[in-house]
Amino acid sequence: MAAAPVATSTKSSLREELTCAICCDLFREPVMLACMHHFCKPCISRYWRGTQGPVTCPQCRKEFSSKQFQTNYLVAAMVEKVRATTSNTYIQNVEKRLKESLESHRLRREDYINSIRRDKDKMDTIKRVSADLQARVKGEFRALHQILHDEESCMLEQLKREQDEELEKVHRRLEAVKLAMRELEDNMTKLQQASAATENIVLTELPQLSAHVQVDTAPEFDVNTFSNKYMAPLQYITWRKMFKSLKPGPSPLTFDVDTAHPSIYISRDKTVAVESDNTSLHTCHSKRFLQCVNILAAQGFQSGQHYWEVEVGCKPKWDLGVASEAVDRHSRIKLSPETGYWTLRLRNGNEYSAGTQPWTRLQLSSSPQRLGVFLDCDERRLSFYNADNMSLLFSFTNGPRGKVYPFFSPCISGGRQKAQPIKLLHHPLVALSG
Ligand SMILES: [Zn+2]
Ligand SMILES: [Zn+2]
């Protein structure tokens, strides 16, 4: 039995204390002699049987004049207690309880071990995901740095080339001037020699002189002209160029007129869609939405990353996102990923929801006038941004498979207010606020 050793020794010494020196067993009806020694009543009676006159204590040999002893109820009670706690049933019961307790401890320990393992796994996952994201962030910035670096090298090379050209021009002229000067000096020498000769002899003719070398007038170096290109808002110019190199940069979408519900009016340049009371006389087309006031963009995507921006202004009601190419366009359908729509929606001017099943209500601190939609086909991710400050509004992580088209619904406003349009933004070269 697995019990604490201290308890065992206490119990065994107590048992020894309560053992009769005659029968070497726990006292039965313990009695105490005048010498304070205890024995079983039957044992001491049997021991003294047949003895006449004085008797002795079997333990200390003390003599007593008569057979006298006292029943000791306290010792009797203790003996009963020890007998009970050392009985087989009692021990079995204690063993059972110990086993149960041990088992429950063991199970709890196992739970803790599993929990520690799960936490460690979680930490590994966090570290792995963070490392992947770190690599991604670094990659994106590396691309930006590369663009900047290339722009810088290109501009410095051009400056160097222009400097060399200017220096070359001056250099060429310098050489020409030097040559002319040498010719001039040659002629001067000849003239001086001829002049010296006239003192002695009669000069018959003038010396042969080299032809006078013509040197073009020095071209002016105009500091201003040279500097103009570089004394410019270089950061803005570079940012403008950089903007065109962004991957993904904003896609210049246009509406696909063939998909427009008959109540949608489309501008001539196909970037503005607005609900209209006059049903447009569109040609019948299988791509057309007939029940819901929807429209798609003409550009579909099925791989890579794409980003576009849409202006909704102060419209109190709209839906936008992406729709699978295969969506049913002839029935009234609840927009959800299950039916092929991944959307964000506004109702009643301030109730924003993501078109999950059921809808996910979004608490936005401000009302975006322009929305950015980011589609990562390979990662199956669709995210919506407030394009005014590029804060993330919502992400679908179980995005579409296969080809999708940017989707829009200007919705039927139904009120007396003038219908406001949805605009596809083509020139997002505006400073990001906030
Ligand atoms: Zn005894
Ligand atoms: Zn005694």
Give the tens place of pLDDT for each residue, 377-399.
999 999 999 999 999 999 999 99
For the beta carbon of residue 354, count every other beta carbon within 10 angstroms.
19
Nearest bound ligand to CA 22? Answer: 1
User: At 282, is the pLDDT very low, low, confident or very high (cuts 50, 70, 90)?
Assistant: low
CA of 39 to the centre of ligand 2 (A): 10
Average pLDDT, the chain: 89
Distance CA 282, CA 260 (A): 8
Q: Residues 71-81: pLDDT tens digits?
A: 989 999 999 98
**One-letter amino acid for residue 404 of the chain:** V
Residue of 215 and 152 predicted with greater confidence:
152
**What tens digit of pLDDT does each residue of 338-370 get?**
999 999 999 999 999 999 989 999 999 999 999
Confidence of residue 432 (pLDDT cuts 50, 70, 90): very low
Q: 11-25, 37-51, 207-221, 418-432: which has the minimum mean pLDDT?
A: 418-432
- Measured in Å, residue 57 CA sits from the centre of ligand 1 at 13
In the reported structure, the alpha carbon of residue 23 is separated from the centroid of ligand 1 by a whole-number distance in angstroms of 4
Tally the C-alpha atoms within 13 A of residue 105's C-alpha that lie toward its C-beta: 6
Closest CA to 315 of 289, 331, 293: 293
pLDDT of residue 253: 93
Ligand 2 centroid vs 218 CA: distance in angstroms? 143
Ligand nearest to the CA of 37: 2
For residue 7, report the distance from its CA to the centre of ligand 2, in Å.
Answer: 29
Per-residue pLDDT band for 277 (boundaries 50, 70, 90) equals confident
Alpha-carbon span 161 to 163, nearest angstrom: 5
Spatial separation of the C-alpha atoms in residues 274 and 268, rounded to whole Å: 12
Report which bound ligand comes closest to the CA of 23.
1
Q: So what's the pLDDT on residue 427?
A: 60
Q: How far is the CA of 71 from the centre of ligand 1 (A)?
A: 14
Taking the CA of 64 as reference, the closest ligand is 2
Cα 10 to ligand 2 centroid, rounded to whole Å: 24
Q: Which ligand has an atom closest to residue 19 CA?
A: 1
Q: According to the model, what pLDDT value does residue 87 have?
A: 80
If you measure from the C-alpha of residue 32 to the centroid of ligand 2, how many angstroms do you get, rounded to a whole number? 9
Residue of 247, 237, 249 lying closest to 146 (CA atoms):
247
Confidence of residue 280 (pLDDT cuts 50, 70, 90): low
Which bound ligand lies closest to the C-alpha atom of 61? 2
How far is Cα 89 from Cα 396, in angstroms, rounded to an integer? 66
d(CA 147, CA 269): 32
- Tell how far the Cα of 51 is from the centroid of ligand 2, in angstroms: 17
Q: For 156-176, what is the mean pLDDT?
A: 94
Beta strands in 234-328 (DSSP E): 264-266, 272-275, 295-296, 305-311, 318-324
Scanning 310-402, the segments in alpha helix (DSSP H) are none
In angstroms, what is the span from residue 61 Cα to ligand 2's centroid?
Answer: 6
Q: How many angstroms separate the alpha carbon of residue 94 from the centre of ligand 1?
A: 28
Confidence of residue 4 (pLDDT cuts 50, 70, 90): very low
Q: How far is the centre of ligand 1, averaged over its atoms, from the C-alpha of 91 (Å)?
A: 24
Q: From the CA atom positions of the chain, what is the Rg in Å?
A: 53
